[in-house]
Amino acid sequence: MTAIKAFIAGCAGHVLGPDEAAFFREAQPWGFILFRRNVETPDQVRRLTDALRESVGRADAPVLVDQEGGRVQRLGPPHWPAYPPAAAFGRLPANDFLLRREVARLGARLIAHDLRTVGITVDCMPVLDVPVPGADSVIGDRAYGRDAREVAILGRACAEGLLAGGVLPVVKHVPGHGRGNADSHHALPVVEAAREELSASDFLPFRVLADMPLAMSAHIIYRALDPRRPATVSRRVIGEVIRGEIGFGGLLMSDDISMNALAGTIGERARAASRAGCDIVLHCNGRLEEMKAVAEVVPTLAGAARLRAAAALARLAHEPEPFDVAEGRERLKSALAMGSAGAET
């Protein structure tokens, strides 16, 4: 049996280069992630996802993407629809929560259709972060709202829409990025809120969706939890909060370790995330030398992490539910138009 390494890798461009293919064949990453640099046309993306899986010899190797809608959408016009940000679903009529849930699920179901068609099987959404006044704008309209319960309800609807379409959701950024005072792509955010406040609000959506197959950690220091280490590299946060209080039992991946919130070399970051309790290390920028450094230090996927990975992929065993795509697109368009009209009055 092939020994799979506990990391997810990117690639540099629209096609898989021979050096990349040779590296993946040897290193055997658990999965892959695509970005805009990898996306041109539907046929091209399908060829790329096929090539990635062929490189590791595993037809079920997951291929991930960040396809939230709004500012974070790797597949977009002219070949794919422009989807709204999560906040658009929270702006639908406040007195009809069933409508909000239905439309959020519908949007995710349409995204799942787009992704499955080109061989992408994991979407890094829903965002379960709860923004607060004064926080950095990196989350902003990527959140479903500013009420934790509303975020939980609409986040679950989104996750269920993806699963119905045969795509695994990744809840992020556990245990909560909404209070971050910086964009973790560029700097290390620090959250000063008390543990009780975090538990009552920030953790709540993640507790409600603790049954989801995949989650992504936050590169944030929470002073009340671990004053020295960001959650991604903190045994205390992962063990006591993510696995403990929140009760998440699925596969935990790091956020991208090439982001500037983390310190040290790429290898040191990967090792620290693995030792802290991340099942899978995510590396996104597609730089081959960095990927080699990650592959050298991450463990083979084994034990509980391997079982969690297998359980996640088992959720893809069923065929997507029957779905009229054209009708779904019209329903989504009509519902969002109603929300826009309500916001203007």
- The yes-or-no verdict on residue 202 having pLDDT over 70 is yes
The reply to whether 255 falls in a domain is yes
Q: Is 318 an active-site residue?
A: no
Phi-psi region of 217 (alpha: psi -120 to 50; beta: other; left: phi over 0): beta
CA gap 252, 76 in Å, rounded: 28
pLDDT band at 345 (very low <50, low <70, confident <90, very high): very low
pLDDT band at 1 (very low <50, low <70, confident <90, very high): low
* Reported pTM: 0.96
Closest residue by Cα to residue 87 from 176, 158, 168, 8: 158
Other C-beta atoms within 10 Å of 95: how many?
A: 6
Count: domains in the chain: 1
The reply to whether 340 falls in a domain is no
User: Per residue in 57-94, is it b (16+ CB within 10 Å) or e — as a string?
Assistant: ebeebbbbbbbbbeebbbbeeeebbebbbbbbbbbbee
The reply to whether 341 falls in a domain is no
Domain encompassing residue 24: 5-335
pLDDT computed for residue 340 by the predictor? 64
CA gap 171, 122 in Å, rounded: 11
Question: Please, what is the average pLDDT of the chain?
Answer: 95
The reply to whether 344 falls in a domain is no
Q: Is 255 an active-site residue?
A: yes
pLDDT band at 97 (very low <50, low <70, confident <90, very high): confident
Catalytic residue among 43, 185, 186, 318: 185
The reply to whether 59 falls in a domain is yes
Catalytic residue among 255, 256, 279, 283: 255
The reply to whether 342 falls in a domain is no
CA gap 52, 61 in Å, rounded: 8
The reply to whether 143 falls in a domain is yes
pLDDT over 90, % of the chain: 90
The reply to whether 239 falls in a domain is yes
pLDDT average, residue stretch 315-333: 95
Give per-residue pLDDT as tens, 279-317.
Answer: 999 999 999 999 999 999 999 999 999 999 999 999 998
CA gap 70, 308 in Å, rounded: 31
Cis peptide before 85 (omega within 30 of 0): no
Q: Domain of 266: which CATH number?
A: 3.20.20.300
